[in-house]
A and B are shown apart, each in its own frame.
Chain A
Amino acid sequence: MKAVKVENLSKQYSIGVSRAPYATLRDSIAGFANAPLKLFRRNKRASDSTIWALKDVSFEINRGELVGIIGRNGAGKSTLLKVLSRITEPTRGGVDIFGRVGSLLEVGTGFHPELTGRENIYLNGAILGMKRQEIERKFDEIVAFAEVQKFIDTPVKRFSSGMYLRLAFAVAAHLEPEILLVDEVLAVGDNNFQKKCLGKMEEMSSGGRTVLFVSHNMPAVLRLCNRVILLDQGQLLADGSPQQVTRQYLSSSTGSQAERVWPSAEIAPGDTVARLRSIRVCDKAGKTIEATDIRQDFRIEVEYWNLQRRLRPSVLLIFTNEDGVCLFQSNDFNNNVWADTRREPGLVRSVCKLPGNFFSEGRVLVTVGIGTYNPNLLHAIERDAVAFQIFDRSEGDGVRGEYVGEWPGVIRPMLDWEINTKAGNPTASSYQEESLHT
């Protein structure tokens, strides 16, 4: 049974529009006056000023499927959801949707700070397309889910941000369309909240509803979806099983982010002391990789031109996770021999070895720089120069063992545990007195 049928869907944006979102009357009048002149220039201009956010995308989705849509920024994911939820119209092609659509492109759309929690539930529900009766029927459930019973008649501007978010999500979660479109709603909120979101989505699809889920969060996509669509530059690149498509996405060279090479000195970051040439993420064999198993060792390789004898520049790497949390910094002067070596002008390759069972699951961004110390000077810096993905297959021999749920923490080290045992039952007197130390 079909739920969504997308046929040759194309959406064109003119770049002029995105640069200056609205025109002024004067521009239009000027444009009108220039119209005759444009006749001569038209051929040149027309193709420059427009882009296809979606180009000839076709696919079908059956009822009950939970489909992930992935792709880099600007690949057309959000545009696709906007067309499916009828916020914007396609330029060409079309979509048939069999059933009521609920779209969650944002949590709390239309919430008004001056209105009370109760009033906002009704307003937001109506905006999301619920009938008043339906909201009334689910009202108590929504309030209970959001855990805001006490404050239900308080204006939401007095809510804490957590309460606000919970209430907003509670309304959305009780929307019961046949087809649900979700866009990165999970990017906000704490772990607990995200878990609630994921749980609710799973529940909906197992209840026979169709869910389309746009996300950058590969672990979530892998865990939830039974099918994944990969978009790239507005086109459908792959459509298939989550494992297969996410692997293709993570290892694809389309605009590779695991490697960065500066082709000339003019555009490379640097100064008269040192200039970056390349940085890449690679495995032990030296092959560039976009993603790595959480258990595997891997490397970051930086090449730069050293331009002087006088100073001793050092490469620094700063690792940040997707939430922008800085994980740590590391410098190549940790290699004591190198730190004391006199430098000669020339090309330098500096390789940082990273252990397995160290990073947590997810995407890690690497900022690279070259500095000299005493006095402290930064000669080159490139923020988020490369990125890599750490995935955890949960095959039982990782840090999380057999556990497949959410595993907290920005790092995931495999630590040594020492365990001692001694047989027997505790009695009132022996409870504290027994000792395992020998």
Chain B
Amino acid sequence: MDFESTVPESSVPLGDERIEGEISNEIPLIRIRPAKGWGGFNLRDLWAYRELLYFLTWRDIKIRYKQTILGVAWAIIQPLFAMLMFTLFFGKLAKMPSDGIPYPVFAYAGLLPWTFFSNAVTNSGNSLVGNSNLITKVYFPRVIIPGAAVCAGIVDFLIASTILLGLMFYYGIALTWSFLIFPLLMVITTLLALGVGMWVSALNVKYRDIRYALPFLIQLWMFATPIIYPLNIVPERFRWVMLINPLSGLVEAFRATLLGRPFNWVEIGLACLITFALLAYSFYVFRRMEKSFADVV
């Protein structure tokens, strides 16, 4: 009796058959050659590993606030307190103009994409070095690592957005149809963060100076972006300088969608253009440096 019950009903052979089937059906050919330039940037490979992007993003989110007392609240505390400080010093004391909307809403609407962007760039910039154990032991498209670090920031962004909705409700500002552009802007900001983050992460593998320079550069970048001040206080003839920074156009557009104000399509178009150019350049640099990661990191 005992004997019979240990003979499997069908589950084991079935599983095996399926695997055998997988083997004989499609045998992928992997060609390994010294890569040149764009040669090896394999989009199909990237697609095949899309689940890894999901799992690494999920890991980053999962462990970020482990062993913290406040947990996910940190996603809100950061922009919230920055907004309170800015409101006090720039809004109340310095009487900074804010396009005719209450300064807290104005500042928070700028801080929201900025916090996402700066965290995404910082995290992805350090991601390759931080995951060196993966890079030296397993193959997968390396872009996934900085990519996951950027994606993990989106959750924080969404959590922090609730505060903005609260603020708008408090000040009696209604959402308008232009809010529908919001996801598109989010995508572009994410791509920009990916472009910068990827580039920084690759450089960081080779030059560890980046780790020290990055926080400082990010801080400078914040002042070069219209977050505490509106873009229109910059004199007209210098405004193009501001717009070389694609984040300027994006932050202004973020405010416009939330507060239902007219878009400056030229600014947005320019921001997109610069973002895509940066992303392409960054992919190229990353690809060129990628092959030496395992040897250098």
Contact = CB atoms under 8 A, between A and B. Distances in A.
Interface of A: 13, 17, 21-26, 28, 82-92, 94-101, 103, 105-106, 109-110, 112, 114-115, 119, 122-123, 126-129, 131-132, 137, 176, 178, 207-209
Nearest to B213: A25
A92 B34 contact: yes
B295 A178 contact: no
B34 A115 contact: no
B34 A90 contact: yes
Contact of B32 (A83, A132, A208): A83
Contacts of A92: 34
B15 interface: yes
A59 B59 CA distance: 40
A87 B137 contact: yes
Contacts of B296: 17, 21-22
Contacts of A112: 59, 63
A97 B138 contact: no
Given A86-B32, A114-B62, 5 more contacts: A13-B295, A21-B296, A99-B28, A126-B51, A127-B140
A82 B136 CA distance: 8
A182 to B, nearest CB: 13
Q: Which interface residue of A91, A101, A110, A207 has the most chain B CB atoms within 10 A?
A: A110
10 contacts: A22-B207, A22-B208, A87-B136, A87-B139, A88-B295, A89-B32, A105-B137, A105-B138, A122-B55, A126-B51
Nearest to A26: B209
Given A86-B30, A110-B133, A128 B138 contact: yes
Interface in B41-92: 49, 51-52, 54-56, 58-59, 62-63, 66-67
A97 B29 contact: yes
A103 B139 contact: yes
A137 B12 CA distance: 12
Contacts of A126: 51-52, 54-56
B34 A100 contact: no
Contacts of A86: 30, 32, 139
B27 interface: yes
Interface string B138-158: 111000000000000000000
Contacts of A123: 55-56, 58-59
A85 B138 contact: yes
Contacts of B94: none
A137 B15 contact: yes
B59 A115 contact: yes
Contact of A89 (B58, B59, B291): B291
B137 A97 contact: no
A88 B140 contact: no
B19 interface: yes
Contacts of B27: 98-99, 178
Nearest to A125: B55
Nearest to A179: B30
Contacts of A100: 28
B135 interface: yes
A346 B70 CA distance: 77
Contacts of B20: 208
A100 B26 CA distance: 10
B32 A97 contact: yes
A97 B140 contact: no
A94 B58 CA distance: 35
